[in-house]
Structure 1
Amino acid sequence: MATSKNGLYGHPNGKIGNIVFYVLNGQNVSRTIGDPGKPSRNQLGNQQSMAVTMAFLKRMKEFITVGFELEAAGTVKNAFNLATSYNKKGALQGEYPNISVNYSKVVLSKGDLPVAKDIQLSKADTGVLISWDPSRLDFDYGPDDSVMIMLYHPLRKKETSFLNAARREEGSRFIEIDKEWLEEPIEAYLCFKSANGKRISDSVYVGNLNGEIESPEEKSKKRKYLEVKVRFDQIEADYLRLMHLDRGAHMGTKAFRHLEKEYEVLKKKLDDLPGKPG
């Protein structure tokens, strides 16, 4: 049962039918409850998009809290909510069930502080070097702006972050990395924050080292998909051959019905199976 503190036209609080009304961050909200039935393909895609985004960003909460703190100020959203919204909309690629992160479009901070020019990423024997042009071309930023750096390791699904990696005027930061990790894919991001903490820049995708190497999980998905695809191709060939044999005379047989059922099951399975090439 729901109650309304502000009379008949006030926002209720509680349950009415299959809708629950409540207050979240000072705002009146509502949501449905109960069994919504079988989700559509679009709904499944939206669910996977959210799951992929959350799984990626949850490892970067500390960096994101700083990166979106100013953007979230004065709104009912928190920094992580904003980061999730930006990246779910703009940093994903593929279609369900093969939705993944497009690392080059990830956003880890939002603001109007200018970034630097000529940002570079290079690998040395014991780590990585991130450099930028420290030249001060105007008075819209200071040489003592702090530099924030995020390194993401896709195979391990781990991050290495530095909230005060260097000052803008230093022009570079060398980061030592374990040799085994150094040979694996690395995605790098950078942003600048003013010394007084009142301004921050948009994050910049610095680049990738060592290319894209598939994880054991991704290899397993592709292998499973290929196995099912090979079987489906065999069944499809037999199914289509019998469909046209003797003008469909075989279509009423038990063998054909069994074949048709397997064809439909495998076709549906391929549609929903992750690991599709490309």
Structure 2
Amino acid sequence: MGKLEGGLFGRLSGRIGNQVYYQLRGKTVVRKIGRNENPASHKQLHVRQKMKVLGDFFKPIKAYLKLGFAEAVAGTAMFPYNAAVKYNLEGGIQGEYPDLVIDYENILVSKGELLAPLNPVVEKTVEGLRFSWEVDAMDYQARYDSAMLLICFPEQHDAIYFLNAAHRLAGTVLIPLSAEALAREMRIYMSFISEGKNQVSDSVYLPLFT
């Protein structure tokens, strides 16, 4: 049974008929409940699998996405993870149902107005991964942006990330990795985040040079 909290102009919550009311970030949201007996259409199956493929990829990197899409949802009721899903459902999946896969080169793991990494490169060394980028075109404040690095291991459904790997001014950083990790398939992304953590750049996909 639904209830109205705080009188006539209060907040509605609970179930009324086949609708459920609840509060989300200060707003009243309603969703319809009930079982759909109709078989799913090809389009519905396509969308469901897109959500599953993207969800499996995003599962180990939720903390990265929380920072990476914080600027994109500032001033809205949307959560960063939802914004990441919404954006990447359009360009981050390729193929046709039931053969859908992640389009790694077009995935964005951060989105914002900050200056993106300039000509970033990642190379495999015996010690780990060496990242480098250009540092010429920047203002004073940008010098202290922090590099956010994401290394995904698709076959293991795992990832490691570094939210403060080095200042933009450094131009390079070495991420130590074990020989076992270096032997795995990797998908690598780089972003920058401001010193105050309130601005972020679009992410860049980095092909791995060996």
Give runs of aligned pairs for residues 101-140 of structure 1, distance below 5 A.
101-135=102-136, 137-139=137-139
Distance between the aligned counterparts of 1:17 and 1:41, measured in 2? 30
What one-letter code is carried by the residue in structure 2 that aligns with 1:29? V
1:32–1:171 CA distance, 2 compared to 1 (3 A): same
RMSD: 2.3
**2:87 match: secondary structure:** helix
Kept in 2: contact 1:67–1:109 (CA 8 A): yes
Distance between the aligned counterparts of 1:128 and 1:83, measured in 2? 26
Kept in 2: contact 1:114–1:141 (CA 8 A): no
Give runs of aligned pairs for residues 1-278 of structure 1, distance below 5 A.
1-2=1-2, 6=8, 13-37=13-37, 38-135=39-136, 137-139=137-139, 141-208=141-208
How far 1:181 moved relative to its partner? 2.2
Higher helix share: 1
Kept in 1: contact 2:117–2:204 (CA 8 A): no
Larger radius of gyration: 1
Distance between the aligned counterparts of 1:18 and 1:199, measured in 2? 41
How far 1:66 moved relative to its partner? 1.5
Higher strand share: 2
Distance between the aligned counterparts of 2:143 and 2:192, measured in 1? 11
Kept in 1: contact 2:12–2:22 (CA 8 A): yes
Cα deviation, 1:220-264, whole Å, max 9, x if unaligned, reads xxxxxxxxxxxxxxxxxxxxxxxxxxxxxxxxxxxxxxxxxxxxx
1:142–1:3 CA distance, 2 compared to 1 (3 A): closer
**1:165 match: secondary structure:** coil
Cα deviation, 1:116-153, whole Å, max 9, x if unaligned, reads 32211211123221110122x24275222111100111
- TM-score of the aligned structures, taking structure 1 as reference length: 0.67
1:143–1:3 CA distance, 2 compared to 1 (3 A): closer
- TM-score of the aligned structures, taking structure 2 as reference length: 0.87
How far 1:198 moved relative to its partner? 3.2
Q: Which has the higher contact order (CA 8 A, sep 6+)?
A: 2
Cα deviation, 1:7-59, whole Å, max 9, x if unaligned, reads 8xx99644344332333222232222222122212111111111221221121
What one-letter code is carried by the residue in structure 2 that aligns with 1:43? Q
**1:64 match: secondary structure:** helix
Where do 5+ consecutive residues of structure 2 fail to align?
none
What one-letter code is carried by the residue in structure 1 that aligns with 2:92? A
Q: How many residues were matched structurally?
A: 207
Where do 5+ consecutive residues of structure 1 fail to align?
211-278
Kept in 2: contact 1:132–1:171 (CA 8 A): yes
Distance between the aligned counterparts of 2:102 and 2:208, measured in 1? 14
How far 1:208 moved relative to its partner? 4.3
